[in-house]
Structure 1
Amino acid sequence: MNYDIFNGDADGIIALLQLRLANPIESTLITGVKRDIQLLRKVAAQPGDDVTVLDISMEKNIDALTPLLAAGVKVFYADHHRSGAIPESDNLSAHIDLDPNTCTSLIVDKHLKGQYHYWAIAAAYGDNLMAAADELCSLAGLTAEQAAQLNELGTLINYNGYGSSISDLHFEPAALYTALKAYPNPFDAIADKASPFYQLQAAYGQDMAKAQAVNALHESSNLAVFELPNEAWAKRISGVYGNYLANKNPNLAHAVLTDNEDDTYTVSLRAPLTNKQGAGDICSQFETGGGRAAAAGINALNKGELGEFMLATEQYYRAIDE
């Protein structure tokens, strides 16, 4: 059997999209909301099975990965998050790059020698790699209008992945992947008025307008913090709102807090775009936290720990400035 395991955001969906457009196979899809990253434990693979893992931290899945490899399961693993020690196994094909200016779809794009390059660029935009994606558009000879279209498409696919549960999303990620597989070229998805692009576009506009009406909870020369309510729209917009804030003020770190029902916050942290480091290290100090250098999060930060989180973030970026 074949298993395709992928993050439910733009990068995970588009990484798989490229691979399966290049190599169509029947597979069992395993995914979830963006923050559902311990996906490998959901696999019941047997010796001789093939497992593809995309855009989820190897470090967070090592306890499930190790026995699969030992049992003779072949694993193709591509990612750009914290990896920890990469196992040495003939059954593992690891494509790991922790450069803050790359993403899993760009890693897959390199692996496929650019077969679906425009899709990879859309994913880079969705992962907020704006400068890298702009440069790729320029090298590909795309117009400013085409670059803007790929930017919007990637952002919308990424927006769809955020939520505390699948019910918060407009499309279940596996269903969105399946719908997008009908378009070998992302510009075809934009041209088709029946594609998911237009439903997501309308919903994104409504949710972003609500987020933009929220005032900062805290703002200093190093960090701005925004608190969103315990509502479905807030859970959907939290990640892309963090990206929006980061692009609006690239010298600041930004934290978006979304109120949960259990006296905790879901946290999205963005490092300053002018200094893309530290976000994963900061969030990893807290239980349920993790991520990469430029962007990270905490699934459930106790509200009593908010001051500690803000202090850790302030101190980290203040020390760098000094």
Structure 2
Amino acid sequence: MNYDIFNGDADGIIALLQLRLAQPHTATLVTGVKRDIELLEPLTKKYSLTAQDNLTVLDISMEKNRVGLLFALESGAKVFYSDHHRSGKIPQTVNLDAHIDLDANTCTSLIIDDYLQGEFHLWAIVAAYGDNLIAKADGLSTKAGLSLSQAKQLNELGTLINYNGYGAHIDDLHFHPAELYKALLKYPDPFDVIADLSSPFHRLKKAYRHDMDRALAVKPFYQSETLSLFELEDAPWSRRVSGVFSNQLANQDTGSAHGVFTENSDGSFTVSLRAPLSNKQGAGDICSQFATGGGRAAAAGINQLPRVDIPRFTQTVESYYG
């Protein structure tokens, strides 16, 4: 049995897309909203894995999935694992084929691009844009001979796929990530997605505009030379736009850190933190100091931050980057 386990954002979807365009096979898809990153342990509890099983795991932290990974390996299953988040100690076993790179200027889709020797390179560029590696993606676009207009189109596509992954629950999303992946699998060339008026690109484009207009009207509730913080209401549009809004803020002011707080139904906050683009480090370490927090050097988050902890979070960020 084959299992494809992947993050529901642009990087996770496009990493799998590249692999299955190059190496097609039938598999059980395991994914969720972007912040649903602990996917391996529930899978190992649901299915009785054996040495006949193959797991492909993409764009979810090995550190956060260690229990499930060890269980899968002990069952004899073969695991292909590619990621760029915190990994912890990587198990040393012949059953694990690990492709881990924690560099702040890479993403899982670029790791897969190298693995496939650039077979679907344009899709990897889309993912880099979606993961807010704008300078990296711009450089790859230039090297690939794309015009500025073409690069802008791939940037928009990546942003929209990433936007779709944000939400507290699947119902917040416009497309279930597994369904979006399957829809995109019809297009070996990302420019064909954009050209097809019936593709997900056009539905997401319209929805993104609507949600982002609302976010851009919000003023920061805290602002210094080091950090700006924004609060969004408890609503589906807020949850959908929180990540891409954070990315846009980071791109507009590259010398400052940015945090977007989206209120949860229990009064706590989901936090999206972006390190300054001029100093792409520390976001994951900062968020990991709080329960339910984690991420990577340039971009990280906290799933449930109590309101009482906002001053401590603010001071922690200010101390780190100030």
Indicate the larger mover: 142-151 or 38-47: 38-47
Matched position secondary structure for 1:214: coil
2:100 is equivalent to residue 96 of structure 1: yes
Equivalent residue runs for 1:58-77 within 5 Å: 58-77=62-81
2:266 is equivalent to residue 262 of structure 1: yes
Q: 1:248 is aligned with what amino acid?
A: Q
Write the deviation string for residues 36-60 of structure 1: whole angstroms up to 9, x where unpaired. 0000113223222000000000000
Equivalent residue runs for 1:168-187 within 5 Å: 168-187=172-191
State the alpha-carbon separation in 1 of the partners of residues 318 and 230 from structure 2: 15
Identify the residue that residue 118 of structure 2 maps to in structure 1: 114
State the alpha-carbon separation in 2 of the partners of residues 64 and 46 from structure 1: 14
TM-score, normalization: structure 2? 0.98
Equivalent residue runs for 1:126-205 within 5 Å: 126-205=130-209
Identify the residue that residue 17 of structure 1 maps to in structure 2: 17
Q: 2:55 is aligned with what amino acid?
A: V
TM-score, normalization: structure 1? 0.98
Matched position secondary structure for 2:301: strand
CA-CA distance at 1:232 after TM superposition: 0.5
Write the deviation string for residues 54-75 of structure 1: whole angstroms up to 9, x where unpaired. 0000000001101111111000
Identify the residue that residue 225 of structure 1 maps to in structure 2: 229
Indicate the larger mover: 44-53 or 260-269: 44-53
CA-CA distance at 1:317 after TM superposition: 0.3
Q: 2:121 is aligned with what amino acid?
A: H
Q: 2:127 aligns with which of 118, 123, 134?
A: 123
State the alpha-carbon separation in 2 of the partners of residues 184 and 236 from structure 1: 27
Structure 2: tracts of 5 or more residues without a match: none
State the alpha-carbon separation in 2 of the partners of residues 155 and 36 from structure 1: 19
State the alpha-carbon separation in 2 of the partners of residues 169 and 68 from structure 1: 30
Identify the residue that residue 211 of structure 2 maps to in structure 1: 207
Identify the residue that residue 280 of structure 1 maps to in structure 2: 284
Matched position secondary structure for 2:56: strand
Q: 1:7 is aligned with what amino acid?
A: N
Q: 2:87 aligns with which of 83, 100, 124?
A: 83
Identify the residue that residue 254 of structure 2 maps to in structure 1: 250
Q: How many residues align?
A: 318
The ranges of structure 1 where at least 4 consecutive aligned residues each deviate by more than 6 angstroms after the TM superposition are none
State the alpha-carbon separation in 1 of the partners of residues 267 and 216 from structure 2: 24
Write the deviation string for residues 113-156 of structure 1: whole angstroms up to 9, x where unpaired. 00000000000000000000000001000000100000000000
CA-CA distance at 1:94 after TM superposition: 0.3
Identify the residue that residue 309 of structure 2 maps to in structure 1: 305
CA-CA distance at 1:95 after TM superposition: 0.2
State the alpha-carbon separation in 2 of the partners of residues 233 and 261 from structure 1: 14
Q: Tell me the percent identity.
A: 63
Structure 1: tracts of 5 or more residues without a match: none
Write the deviation string for residues 55-103 of structure 1: whole angstroms up to 9, x where unpaired. 0000000011011111110000000000000000110000000000000
Matched position secondary structure for 1:280: helix
Q: 2:243 aligns with which of 235, 239, 244?
A: 239
Identify the residue that residue 35 of structure 2 maps to in structure 1: 35
State the alpha-carbon separation in 1 of the partners of residues 117 and 28 from structure 2: 26
2:292 is equivalent to residue 296 of structure 1: no
Identify the residue that residue 59 of structure 2 maps to in structure 1: 55
State the alpha-carbon separation in 2 of the partners of residues 97 and 300 from structure 1: 28
